């Protein structure tokens, strides 16, 4: 009997964008409460995640 190979996708979910949104919301809440240091760090982490996502999306579209 012939068995067909099933393809497994290389990417599973949108992990980077999910965490970028989480850190962005954390930054908004921290800024509203007055924790400027936490807000700044959270925004930087969210920005880095979005940039990594954009770079990986461009690379995956080109390949």
Residue 35 carries which DSSP code?
A: -
Give the confidence band of 41 by pLDDT, cuts at 50, 70, 90.
confident
Residue 50 neighbours by CB distance under 10 Å: 17
Asked if 17 and 50 count as a contact pair (C-beta separation under 8 A), the reply is yes
Per-residue pLDDT at 35: 83
How many percent of the chain have pLDDT more than 90? 0
pTM comes to 0.64
- Provide the 8-state DSSP code for 34: T
């Amino acid at each position: 009997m012939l068995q067909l190979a099933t393809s497994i996708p290389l990417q599973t979910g949108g992990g980077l964008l999910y965490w970028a949104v989480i850190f962005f919301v954390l930054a908004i809440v921290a800024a509203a409460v007055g924790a400027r240091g936490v807000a700044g760090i959270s925004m930087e982490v969210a920005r880095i995640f979005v940039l990594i996502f954009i770079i990986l999306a461009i690379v995956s579209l080109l390949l």
